């Protein structure tokens, strides 16, 4: 696929913005600075993004691998499917960039509440919908109770991952993937069949 000038300029701006947001912070980074660092005119930048927050949102989508709809999972093993979704990770290549930008991103989102709300929705809704589809299939197939509160289940499934991400950063880098363990605990607690069907070897599935 031939890269056009427009595509190249778009990528240059994304990478320049990512670097500046991580180094200077979001509020301290101007569109003029991004134009200078990327070598792309400010007029061209505004053709791609309405404002800095639109650019920031795309940067976050880019480094977190959210630019594609997550693949649905239906292997016939409900516990394994949950483990697969819970084990998905963003692209390895942007680990250092995410570590640099996330503290300033959290601070920015706390002040700019509408942006923070939009970002949380964009980041959390895709995995929520994947998990809900799996749970609905489990209910339809008689594996889970029909009275299951799906919103509550989202908190139970995603809560441990968020806790580990926020409070146990070093542990998650050095030890096992917690996703299959969370899926197994959920299955033990809520499956109608008391006998656990193991999650198998569902491992990390990182976005490429």
CATH number for position 37: 1.10.10.60
Establish if 69 belongs to a structural domain: no
Task: Enter the pTM of the model.
Answer: 0.79
pLDDT in tens, 40-72: 999 999 999 999 999 999 999 999 999 877 788
Contacts of 143 (CB under 8 A, 6+ apart): 78, 191, 192, 193
Instruction: Check whether residue 108 and residue 132 sit in a common domain.
Output: yes
Instruction: Check whether residue 164 and residue 84 sit in a common domain.
Output: yes
Contacts of 164 (CB under 8 A, 6+ apart): 171, 172, 178
Place of tokens 């299951």: 148
Please say if the pLDDT value at position 206 is more than 60: no
pLDDT in tens, 159-190: 998 888 777 665 545 556 899 999 999 999 99
Number of domains in the chain: 2
Give the number of C-alpha atoms closer than 13 A to the C-alpha of residue 144, restricted to the C-beta side.
22
Establish if 125 belongs to a structural domain: yes
CATH number for position 146: 1.10.357.10
Instruction: Check whether residue 98 and residue 195 sit in a common domain.
Output: yes
By CB neighbour count within 10 A (0-12 exposed, 13-18 middle, 19+ buried), where does 116 fall?
middle
Domain residues for the domain of 55 are: 5-63
Contacts of 189 (CB under 8 A, 6+ apart): none
| End-to-end Cα distance, the chain | 18
Q: Mean pLDDT for the chain? A: 87
Instruction: Check whether residue 57 and residue 101 sit in a common domain.
Output: no
């Amino acid at each position: 696929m031939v890269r056009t000038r427009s595509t190249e300029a778009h990528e240059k701006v994304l990478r320049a913005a990512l670097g500046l947001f991580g180094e200077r912070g979001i509020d301290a980074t101007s569109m003029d600075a991004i134009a200078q660092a990327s070598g792309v005119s400010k007029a061209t930048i505004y053709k791609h993004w309405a404002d800095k927050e639109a650019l920031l949102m795309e940067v976050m989508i880019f480094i977190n691998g959210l630019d594609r709809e997550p693949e649905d999972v239906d292997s016939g093993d409900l516990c394994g499917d949950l483990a697969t979704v819970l084990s998905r990770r963003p692209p390895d290549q942007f680990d250092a960039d995410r570590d640099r930008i996330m503290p300033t991103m959290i601070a920015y989102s706390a002040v700019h509440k509408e942006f923070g709300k939009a970002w949380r929705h964009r980041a959390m809704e895709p995995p929520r919908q994947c998990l809900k589809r799996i749970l609905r299939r489990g209910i339809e197939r008689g594996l889970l109770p029909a009275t299951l509160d799906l919103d509550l289940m989202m908190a139970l499934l995603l809560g441990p991952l968020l806790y580990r991400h926020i409070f146990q950063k070093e542990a998650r880098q050095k030890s096992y993937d917690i996703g299959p363990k969370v899926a197994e605990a959920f299955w033990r607690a809520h499956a109608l069949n008391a006998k656990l069907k193991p999650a198998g070897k569902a491992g990390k599935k990182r976005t490429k």
